[in-house]
Structures are given as C-alpha cells and as structure tokens.
Amino acid sequence: MKVELYSVKDTKLGKFCTPFTAPNDEIAKRMLQSTIMAGGNNIAQFPEDFQLFKLGNYDEDTGELTTENKFLANATEFVKKE
C-alpha cells in the first residue's frame, strides 16, 4: 500500500520540516489548516513563511520511495479572514 509524503517548508530558514503522511493532497491541506487553527506554533504565528509540498509517496509493502517535490499551497491560504 502506498502512502503520500508531505512536508512544510520554512521559507525563512530555507529548509523542510519533518515529513508526514496523509491519504491525499486535500487531507494534507486540512492537516496544515488544523495546525494553523490550533495556534501556539510558528506556522500559526508566521503563516507567510511556510509552504506545503508533496514530496512523493512511500510503498509500505516494498519500501520503495517515489519523489515528486510538488508545491501545493501557501500557509496563508488557510488563515481565516475576519
């Protein structure tokens, strides 16, 4: 079974955060939105500095990694406007 790999990039630092898995792109976006809504973290405080990327996928049966490095969204897209 394949799982999708994602990471948030800190553009000020110029590095990617620890990768995480999600079933698809929309769930990964929702996970980022939840992180922002929870508050108390750098992504919530400085959303303009973070971007979501799909890194590829991982096959749990074979151990094979497929890379992609595809931009999905800016964290600012998930900040609620008042």
User: Can you give the pTM of this predicted structure?
Assistant: 0.92
pLDDT for res 82: 60
Domain of 14? 2-78
Q: Which of 64, 68, 63 is nearest to 53 (CA)?
A: 68
Domain count across the chain: 1
The pLDDT tens digits of the residues spanning 50-73 come to 999 999 999 999 999 999 999 999
